[in-house]
Structure 1
């Protein structure tokens, strides 16, 4: 342990002791603090004296206490040490060091310093490095297992699918496959792969990798809606893949554009194991992962990317837990360069980009187990007791407007408005339901807005006479079937991504969604029949119309209560070009570049 670490231990233990004034202390106290023998404690004291950290006068004789003088203010020393740790990429250690002092002034100073390191920088070799904060780690980047918007976005930066989806005209475009053809009325599809595409580890991509990756999706998600149609997937030579279906699926190419079907090398699980591959994945995309831990996710440009090398050389997403302190730090438009969502909200900047998110936060009732949630009168009482407009107004933040479905109002052919809140009627309806005062469990997954939503709903339930408790779990834990079924209600959210029709098919069919597993048996049968009809439709509008009928049924039976739409925001510096929000509310870093004036070295602006 470095000498200054022992000094920090002293400063934390004697936080109120003034600098340069003697402090009476016994050797027993020091041996306990340092966790060592008396002899080793004396050795540590000698190191501290030689380093100019302390003065020490040993007590002479029995009953005479020693004297310790602390010579250095801990704040300046801690900031210097934390800065060294950050420079070496050890952000988590640096924050732990600062937090250990429980000193708000020190935490503020560190946040200010840390904010100054964010943004775009250019090193001596003219490498453009983009740094920005994010409130949590992202250890789960294995495409078939991705469950959250941020991970889905990163997957698109790291991997490619065999075909890509262009949102502007809703068309399927070449990606890893340069051409494909349909046979036997949509029962057989052949995709022809590009030559010379390499994975980030240098291996040439071949058809066997694509076959392995697609089959792996169904192995990891056996209940995937497409799995039941697959008869056979095979490699046709080195650069061809043939997919045979039991019946026509006209939207197969669109499905293969989804991030879950990103192509991974066939040895992915063998070489690293599923958990390690999720943290340090290997793809063919524009950026490769070089680091992913509790401090940062770091990506570097793929110099050999088949669609052209990115302009940004390196991206560092610095983990800033829950954005603590960011609202008081000196993160400005000039320094931050890129702030997303809650970071932008806490910092108080007006957004440079914003869009209403296609998707909704919702409340789903668990009718898959015996309990009060199976009672439609109880579910209706809860719906009447939740004033969603008031919820949006009181909680604020990125909550934009009350929602009546997953899609925004202009995206659906038919939409029925929800019943207005009525607290008196709600309380009476709850009484009529036979509710006996038992505690209703509201589950949600760890995320600040989710936890706020669940707490608000808990309070609203109390007003109408329903006792509720909130249980917050990691999303991966909540998605476990046995855990999910323990809930009475689940508060969650779904972002539609680039293809709302296929996202909704997944919501209504996947065992890993928070909707399908909780549906009543009658609702499941109705959903399955409607999905079967949906998959026969050859165009997006027809599929959305079929899916709308599912939504209306679940609303009518009070099985699913839509709460609100969110707004997506991002702030960025004017020197960053190619900035646009995608369906996830994130930036496609492949298109970002830095416009600099001659002589600019750092934090360039127009």
Structure 2
């Protein structure tokens, strides 16, 4: 506890009267400061030296001491908060709100003051003014390892730090050079050579070479890797000099460009690999700080492509909502505001929310009648109608266009009761897991109430995003509410859904079911014709839907708020703006249409 926090704890003894002596015992102060009498005296002496208080010890038994408060609490808090913000420690100022002694109007005033610190700001405590975007976010960010990126928000931030060999252009649906400036493949698509740009540097200063590409690909190949399937047909990998890499496969790999454009294949430095607190990529932003409460990225001046125009992105874990800048992807459960000073964006996210049944655990969920009953209980249209929020439209597929072709019907709950009787379910408690985000918990509670009406008992277990990779969930859950948001390359997103070891759909299927999906995924990757690939995707979804491996629930959206001074806003598939494209337009500059 710092001195300012200790002042907050003592402040109730002021009785909101400045410059007037108040009676208080040393024992009372010791209790609120949670320290010894000796340390309490040291704290009081420091406060006196700063001119915050005057302290007069009581003389004789029964005589209380006297304390005078000179600093109004909100003024002192704001002054201290400004100092911390200038030092890049806004998260420390936010923690002041957690002090139980801070209540009433003072707490409200401090929250209002801190809210104003989010959004766009220019910091002057540097050799030159820096443009900074401070973003409030409602949960702790999990690991940003590109190979493990399975949560949309983490994947977005990882994209700012790391780069892949090639990039997928959503507008043209073509692959474009990035770290690799060119590539060639054999007529049978079994051998590929990639030529690397010279002068591409990692954030720690070293030039990227073929050795780093081979290191990254060996890491992907590892048995523990969730993406080992990327290279399961790889039979040779070698560097051709400093700036070229050749890959040789046992089968045609027309799908390789999709795989190498993914975040999972982002190139890491061979000398340090991935280190959670010392990440080094080649992306437009470099990591400055990552903790449970904050993530700070700075513009990388050595970036090999067009440099970012925002100097720093600072994300802080807090329940504070800002009218000036906020991102609320589907996994956050936020809402946006109506200020005239802000732009509002609503993105229709790819993929969908769904409910998965665990086929690796004994229980009623293995029975097809039970899953049919749950399909009726989990009425997509009613769920959307009653809960609203970011729930846009019923899903019958991971793809919106396919869902819109389907006829989603509602059946009476009595039918679910009849199916439960056939299933052999006897009233046992079923374990329903969900993310500890507002929207997911709302869905779970809605399902629990619906299930209860037909005698199906559900116990809800919310878990944090940081527990995403916890295999204990796989052993404990009977059912799980989750979702999948595809990146810009939808085909890659769908194949990853089937093959990636971290995805709950795959984690909850048994070995035989996985083999079928592996076969379908491999067929899809070998197809060279889009129409044929589309048929394989439809066949795969029909297999999942027909067997009720999961229940498609709904397609969601995400809301974002930006100050009108912010320009260059390009929303990505994850419901976030690409930070590297953002720039600040001075508030006094008007925008006029151009007539040709």
Normalization by structure 1: what TM-score? 0.88
SS in 1 for 2:218: helix
Distance of 2:540 and 2:474 partners within structure 1? 22
SS in 2 for 1:290: strand
SS in 2 for 1:299: strand
What's 2:196 paired with? 193
SS in 1 for 2:238: strand
What's 2:119 paired with? 119
Deviation, 1:151, is 1.7
Alpha carbons of structure 1 residues 515 and 89: separation in structure 2 relative to 1, 3 Å? same
* Alpha-carbon displacement from aligned partner over 1:431-484 (angstroms, at most 9, x marks no partner): 221111111111123323222222222222212211111112233534333431
What's 1:82 paired with? 81
Contact 2:327–2:576 (CA under 8 A) maintained in structure 1: no
| 1:106 equivalenced with 2:94 (yes/no) | no
| 1:459 equivalenced with 2:449 (yes/no) | yes
Deviation, 1:148, is 1.1
| 1:203 equivalenced with 2:174 (yes/no) | no
Say which of 120, 127, 132 aligns to 1:129: 132
Structure 1 residue ranges, 4+ long, deviating more than 6 angstroms after superposition: none
Deviation, 1:418, is 4.5
**RMSD of Structure 2 on Structure 1 (CA):** 2.8
Contact 1:153–1:584 (CA under 8 A) maintained in structure 2: yes
Contact 1:523–1:554 (CA under 8 A) maintained in structure 2: no
Contact 1:458–1:468 (CA under 8 A) maintained in structure 2: yes
Distance of 1:262 and 1:186 partners within structure 2? 22
Please say which of residues 256-265 and 165-174 is displaced more in the overlay: 165-174
| 1:359 equivalenced with 2:351 (yes/no) | yes
| 1:398 equivalenced with 2:390 (yes/no) | yes
Deviation, 1:250, is 1.0
Contact 1:363–1:563 (CA under 8 A) maintained in structure 2: yes
Instruction: Map 1:423-462 onto structure 2 (within 5 A).
Output: 423-462=413-452
Alpha carbons of structure 1 residues 218 and 451: separation in structure 2 relative to 1, 3 Å? farther
Alpha carbons of structure 1 residues 52 and 475: separation in structure 2 relative to 1, 3 Å? closer
Deviation, 1:348, is 4.6
Distance of 1:39 and 1:171 partners within structure 2? 71
* Alpha-carbon displacement from aligned partner over 1:264-283 (angstroms, at most 9, x marks no partner): 111223xxxx5xx2344211
SS in 1 for 2:313: strand
Distance of 2:72 and 2:257 partners within structure 1? 64
Say which of 181, 185, 188 aligns to 1:182: 185
Alpha carbons of structure 1 residues 514 and 16: separation in structure 2 relative to 1, 3 Å? farther
SS in 2 for 1:543: helix
| 1:146 equivalenced with 2:149 (yes/no) | yes
Alpha carbons of structure 1 residues 337 and 43: separation in structure 2 relative to 1, 3 Å? closer
What's 1:292 paired with? 290
Deviation, 1:340, is 4.2
Distance of 2:3 and 2:580 partners within structure 1? 45
| 1:469 equivalenced with 2:468 (yes/no) | no
Alpha carbons of structure 1 residues 538 and 107: separation in structure 2 relative to 1, 3 Å? farther
What's 2:281 paired with? 283
Alpha carbons of structure 1 residues 15 and 60: separation in structure 2 relative to 1, 3 Å? closer
Distance of 2:471 and 2:293 partners within structure 1? 31
Distance of 1:426 and 1:527 partners within structure 2? 29
Deviation, 1:207, is 0.4
Contact 2:282–2:303 (CA under 8 A) maintained in structure 1: yes
* Alpha-carbon displacement from aligned partner over 1:139-169 (angstroms, at most 9, x marks no partner): 5221101111112122222221111111112
Alpha carbons of structure 1 residues 417 and 479: separation in structure 2 relative to 1, 3 Å? farther
Distance of 2:508 and 2:579 partners within structure 1? 37
Q: Which ranges of structure 1 fall in alignment gaps of 5 or more residues?
A: none
Please say which of residues 294-303 and 484-493 is displaced more in the overlay: 294-303
Alpha carbons of structure 1 residues 525 and 58: separation in structure 2 relative to 1, 3 Å? closer
What's 2:535 paired with? 545
What's 1:226 paired with? 230
Provide the aligned length of Structure 1 versus Structure 2: 582
Contact 1:444–1:478 (CA under 8 A) maintained in structure 2: no
Say which of 371, 376, 380 aligns to 2:368: 376
Deviation, 1:253, is 1.2
Deviation, 1:406, is 0.8
Distance of 1:581 and 1:118 partners within structure 2? 20
Distance of 1:37 and 1:354 partners within structure 2? 54
Distance of 2:320 and 2:96 partners within structure 1? 15
Deviation, 1:185, is 0.9
Distance of 2:343 and 2:424 partners within structure 1? 48
SS in 2 for 1:84: helix
Say which of 316, 321, 324 aligns to 1:319: 316
SS in 1 for 2:433: strand
Distance of 1:555 and 1:410 partners within structure 2? 13
| 1:27 equivalenced with 2:17 (yes/no) | no
Instruction: Map 1:578-593 onto structure 2 (within 5 A).
Output: 578-593=568-583
Alpha carbons of structure 1 residues 563 and 280: separation in structure 2 relative to 1, 3 Å? farther
| 1:596 equivalenced with 2:586 (yes/no) | yes
Distance of 1:409 and 1:561 partners within structure 2? 17
Deviation, 1:522, is 4.5
SS in 2 for 1:191: strand
Q: Which ranges of structure 2 fall in alignment gaps of 5 or more residues?
A: 592-596
Distance of 2:153 and 2:372 partners within structure 1? 34
Contact 1:107–1:325 (CA under 8 A) maintained in structure 2: no
SS in 2 for 1:549: helix
Deviation, 1:46, is 4.1
Distance of 1:161 and 1:113 partners within structure 2? 41
Deviation, 1:49, is 4.3
Contact 1:89–1:295 (CA under 8 A) maintained in structure 2: no
Alpha carbons of structure 1 residues 587 and 234: separation in structure 2 relative to 1, 3 Å? same
Deviation, 1:110, is 2.5
Contact 2:226–2:501 (CA under 8 A) maintained in structure 1: no
SS in 2 for 1:352: strand
| 1:388 equivalenced with 2:391 (yes/no) | no
What's 1:163 paired with? 166
Contact 1:224–1:509 (CA under 8 A) maintained in structure 2: no
* Alpha-carbon displacement from aligned partner over 1:359-383 (angstroms, at most 9, x marks no partner): 1010011112211110110111111
Distance of 2:590 and 2:157 partners within structure 1? 27
Contact 2:14–2:69 (CA under 8 A) maintained in structure 1: no
Deviation, 1:22, is 5.8
Please say which of residues 432-441 and 562-571 is displaced more in the overlay: 562-571
Please say which of residues 18-27 and 177-186 is displaced more in the overlay: 18-27
SS in 1 for 2:216: helix
Alpha carbons of structure 1 residues 234 and 444: separation in structure 2 relative to 1, 3 Å? farther
Contact 1:82–1:97 (CA under 8 A) maintained in structure 2: no
| 1:246 equivalenced with 2:254 (yes/no) | no
Contact 1:485–1:518 (CA under 8 A) maintained in structure 2: no
